[in-house]
Amino acid sequence: MTTQDLWEGRPAARSGVLSPRGAGLPHFLTCIRGSAALRVALLVGCLAIPGFEVEAQTPTPRVRTCATFNFSPTEKRWIQEQLIVRYARVASRATFKRSGPVYPGTIPVVFHVIHSGEEGRVDRSVIDEQMDILNAAFAPIQFGLADVEYVDNANWFEMNPFSLATFFSKLFLQRDYTTTLNIYTGKLTGGFLGWAWFPFLAEYLPVFDAVTVDYGTLPGGDLDPYNEGDTIVHEVGHWAGLFHTFQGCWGPGDWIADTPAQAAPSYGCFEEIDSCPFQPGLDPSNNYMDYATDPCATEFTPGQEDRMRWSLATYRPQIWLRLVFGNN
């Protein structure tokens, strides 16, 4: 199995027995279970394995490439079962029952702008514009900019999901992930536009709980047509518990009832694609969780909004309480 196979979540050789913990874990997590210290040691060990890095490549023309974990159908089923069981527990508490359509609080966001001299030093006005785009996409859930941190570090500026720059920048810069959405910008190698850490993974390796994007994806950046701020919207969708919409024609797919089955990502701006003609509906190619270009990524479905609410309440309870009861 190649490193790329692993990152894309293709089934690895393992027992395949579904259990509440362990056997159903994504393969990558079987490498990082154990105590916190052990997890860090194992992760560093993983990173030290020769060839355990993403080879730099620059697709031409550039398309959306998200490095967030993809999971096998078995893994997704385990994740869904965990969400149902654990959400049922928190939903029985009165404090978690309140939900939309208006939330009095906001999710605090800290931007860590990692730059190399002037390269990648994103203006504060661009970050403000990005926040407006984020809030428009996720309404009625709203985000509030808590801080913008500029870090001039050439060693951390270029990164990919497996690089030591990623590990150390997050280790040293992360604000409390239980109460804050950490967003890192830098120059991503490997052709990636971004990646995110799922909420159900935060308990395993919290140091990585964040959204990371190429600075060129922010509004007005140089990665046209992915420079209208929708990469952060897409990645925050993962951070809030959403899978990609393209999970194949058969089975439960992304576990969202109102996103039609989709065989493969949409690249570009297509009006009508039906990659699963024997299943109802056209491909959701205008969905934020597809790979469409920024001008064509325009919506989350009600089913996705429900899943994000359930995931936040279950796996990010302090953030959820802040949302539903206000910031004080």
CB crowding 106-144: b at 16 or more within 10 Å, else e: bbbbbbbbbbbeeebebeeebbebbbebbbebbeebbbe
DSSP 67-126: -S----HHHHHHHHHHHHHHHHHHHTSGGG----S--S--EEEEEEEEEBTTBT---HHH
Locate 308 and state its tokens: 């994000």
Residue whose beta carbon is closest to Zn ion: 66
CA angle centred on 182, ends 181 and 187, rounded to 5°: 140
Amino acid at position 277, single letter: P
Judged by CB under 5 A, the residue of 66, 151, 202, 211 near Zn ion is: 66
235 belongs to the catalytic site: yes
Does position 287 bind Zn ion by CB under 5 A? no
Per rule CB under 5 A, count of chain residues that contact Zn ion: 2
CB of 193 to Zn ion, least distance (A): 9
Instruction: Pick the piece of the chain touching Zn ion (CB under 5 A) from 13-21, 27-35, 67-75, 221-229.
Output: 67-75
- Smallest distance, Å, CB 41 to Zn ion? 29
**Considering the complex, what minimum distance in angstroms separates the CB of residue 316 from Zn ion?**
18
Among 65, 68, 212, 287, binds Zn ion (CB under 5 A): 68
Q: Is 259 in the site for Zn ion (CB under 5 A)?
A: no
Which residues 73-132 are close enough to bind Zn ion by CB under 5 A? none
Helix (H) or strand (E) holding 26: none
The reply on whether position 137 binds Zn ion by CB under 5 A is no
- Active-site choice (235, 272, 299, 305): 235
Residue 313 near Zn ion by CB under 5 A: no
Active-site amino acid positions:
235
* Residues in touch with Zn ion (CB under 5 A): 66, 68
